[in-house]
A and B are shown apart, each in its own frame.
Chain A
Amino acid sequence: MAWTRFAKKKDMPGGLWIKCESCGAMLFRKEFEQKNRVCGTCGYHFTLPGRERIALTADHGTFVEMWTDLQPVDRLCFNDKVLYSEKLKATQAKTGETEAMIAGTANIKGIPCVLGVMNFAFLGGSMGMVVGEKIARCIEHATEKGLPVVLFACSGGARMHEGAISLMQMAKTCGALAMQNRKGGISISVMTHPTTGGVTASFASACDLLIAEPGALIGFAGPRVIATTIKKELPKGFQRAEFLLEKGQIDRIVPRSQMKDELARLLAYATGRDPVAAYKPQAVAAEPVIEVPPLPLSEEEPEPKSKPKRKKGKQG
């Protein structure tokens, strides 16, 4: 996990400190990473790299990655000053990943499932043919094996460089869910910061259970597109997880620290196991005591920024 977009953009010299995107607090990197990239001051949930998400979600040593041989093809010969094929190669080299989706089977607190995680570091987690194919395979494999499927969304939307092929991945992933529904399979979608565009408007919103991390930006159209269209300022908290919960769009908001327990509990309901046993917080290894450096005092109440910086993938 050498590379994150924060490591690239937000680091202070030396990389010991990270500035919170939301409240501006200076965070000691080691502590920040130990808290799984949640701000100790304001609770802001930073985007979690795909591999870290898997490590945090799957029981240690149970994740078996699948479909790693799938490679994207530049069918359009897309060229926006840089060839898409070149961009792919560079991104693969930089991230060490073949694509924006990491998928396989895993146990979550002992409950077997299919686990798919979008990796924002790879072209903004955008959904192209490989992402769509892996999601469809996740759902089909789950259906075939009678397992529940858990999908973590984290994406700017469809991948423009694959044109209408990427658009049709919305159909492919929803079609797979429709097939799974017919067989009675269960799907859980966890929407994390950010989940927008064609990803929100397909599998991420079409699963049986919809969970979101606190403060996550979730929506169809990007906030900037909406602001330009309606020529008005957007209301506070617009398109945040809390806003979606209030508007009846999602089932639950679950903080990252409780995500695994919460997933296990839901999976227990989905697979006929005991939810009470499944929910019991796991014994956590004693954390090493860290010297916490003083944080800069802020005079105002920290509040989530209305427009965090993020890579835009697509609009309506």
Chain B
Amino acid sequence: MTDTAPRSLVQDGLAFERPLRELELKIKELRNLATGTHLELSDEIHALEDRLRKQTVEVYAQLSPWERVHVARHADRPLTSDYVQMMLDDFVELHGDRVFGDDRAILTGLATMQGQRFLLVGHRKGKTVKDRLACNFGCAHPEGYRKALQKMRLAEKLKLPIVTFINTPGAYPGIGAEERGQASAIAKSILEMFDLKVPVVCIVIGEGGSGGALGIGIGDRVGMLENSYYSVISPEGCAAILWKSGEKAPEAADALKLTSKDLLRFGLVDKVIEEPVGGAHRDQRATVDRVKAQVLEWLAELSTLPTATLLEQRYEKFRRMGMPLGS
């Protein structure tokens, strides 16, 4: 973990983190001092910790949507690979779409967690610069969606439920992606997910970037981490089109109503999974544990439903989203 976020980010949407980081640093220094000099500083440390906790709660309660977008994109926020490492007892990665390639931007594999077996599908962003480039920063190509679908059909055959982790700025906009049918790959994945005869649980763990997110987002239960976002377009893209200026992204983030609370209010997700105080990046362990508990609870709940009911309810759920007047 880094002690200070890159300056550009701080100037942008993470400025609110600075006083918290400063307090955290001060506490760390005092602790070092205490162990190094055997001075009795626990009162001071406790007081500072208390102040930090209160201030963190306060700051995070008042975050603007644009600031939350930055929390969702935070470099230390747990990624799909972190969940794999911290949550699973076993994971067998399965590669390739059987047609064109193996898109690193979507990870698929057989997983076991507390005796529960399932197929994991998740956007992958990568940790190192090299990784991030290989994963296209979590922007999948058509082969990524085709791989996801091919593995989901396998899960269906194996009678394993499916868990998807959504974390993408959007599907990749490029020449190859269009040539190989980005639109049709996403459309087909959405359509066929309605047909999967096994329970599907989807969790938005970071960025829910439009069609690229929805491409693996049709589930019997859809949850969102508190500081994740789910949107039809990135705030930057929306600002560029409607405000004719990328600098109006904070206004666009506001207008798009893309926070977990908004999505829950509109009935577009089933539940908001609360993050630890100060966001998922402050306590990866606690975040992963909460997601794990939610996934296990939902999978247990869904395992009791007959297949016909499952599929009927899955359609009904999305069928009701955004009902116009007069319907």
Interface residues of A (CB under 8 A from B): 69-73, 75-76, 78-81, 128-130, 132-133, 136, 158-160, 162-172, 174-179, 181-182, 197-198, 200-206, 218-222, 225-226, 229-230, 232, 234-235, 238-239, 243, 247-249, 312, 314-316
Contact = CB atoms under 8 A, between A and B. Distances in A.
A175 B268 contact: no
Contacts of B101: none
Given A168-B268, A169-B322, A179 B315 contact: yes
Given A198-B210, A315-B234, A316-B170, A168 B318 contact: yes
A207 B243 CA distance: 35
B171 A168 contact: no
A205 B187 contact: yes
Interface string B260-290: 0011001010000000000000000000000
16 contacts: A70-B324, A71-B324, A133-B324, A158-B233, A160-B256, A164-B231, A164-B232, A164-B257, A168-B322, A175-B191, A181-B195, A218-B183, A220-B211, A232-B175, A234-B175, A314-B210
A174 B194 contact: yes
B142 to A, nearest CB: 9
Interface in B165-219: 170-175, 177-184, 186-188, 190-192, 194-195, 208-212, 214-215, 217-218
The 7 lowest CB-CB distance pairs between A and B, nearest first, are: A221-B173, A129-B322, A178-B194, A316-B170, A200-B183, A69-B326, A165-B322
Nearest to A221: B173
A166 B232 contact: yes
Given A75-B266, A136-B319, A205-B184, 18 more contacts: A76-B256, A78-B256, A129-B323, A160-B232, A163-B231, A163-B255, A164-B262, A171-B190, A178-B315, A181-B191, A197-B211, A201-B215, A220-B173, A220-B178, A226-B174, A229-B173, A247-B179, A316-B173
A220 to B, nearest CB: 4
B39 interface: no
B139 interface: yes
Contact of B177 (A72, A179, A220): A220
Contact of A72 (B233, B234, B325): B325
Contacts of B266: 75, 163-165
A230 B179 CA distance: 14
A248 to B, nearest CB: 8
A79 B254 CA distance: 9
Contact of B211 (A129, A165, A170, A172): A170
B237 interface: yes
B183 A128 contact: no
Contacts of B255: 76, 78-80, 163
Nearest to A219: B178
Interface residues of B, number: 63
Given A163-B256, A164-B231, A205-B183, A312 B241 contact: yes
Contacts, number: 222
A316 B231 CA distance: 11
Contacts of A229: 172-174
Interface of B: 139, 170-175, 177-184, 186-188, 190-192, 194-195, 208-212, 214-215, 217-218, 230-234, 237-238, 241-243, 251-252, 255-258, 262-263, 266, 268, 314-315, 318-319, 321-327
Contact of A164 (B177, B188, B215, B258): B258
B103 to A, nearest CB: 15
A174 B242 CA distance: 27
Contacts of A181: 191, 195
B171 A316 contact: yes
Contact of B175 (A177, A178, A226, A249): A226
B233 A247 contact: no
A170 to B, nearest CB: 6
B302 to A, nearest CB: 18
Given A170-B190, A205-B183, A205-B187, A70 B327 contact: yes
Contacts of A79: 255
Contact of A171 (B179, B183, B192, B321): B321
Contacts of A70: 324-327
A179 B188 CA distance: 14
A71 B325 contact: yes
A249 B234 CA distance: 27
A198 B257 CA distance: 18
Given A178-B192, A247-B181, A172 B322 contact: yes
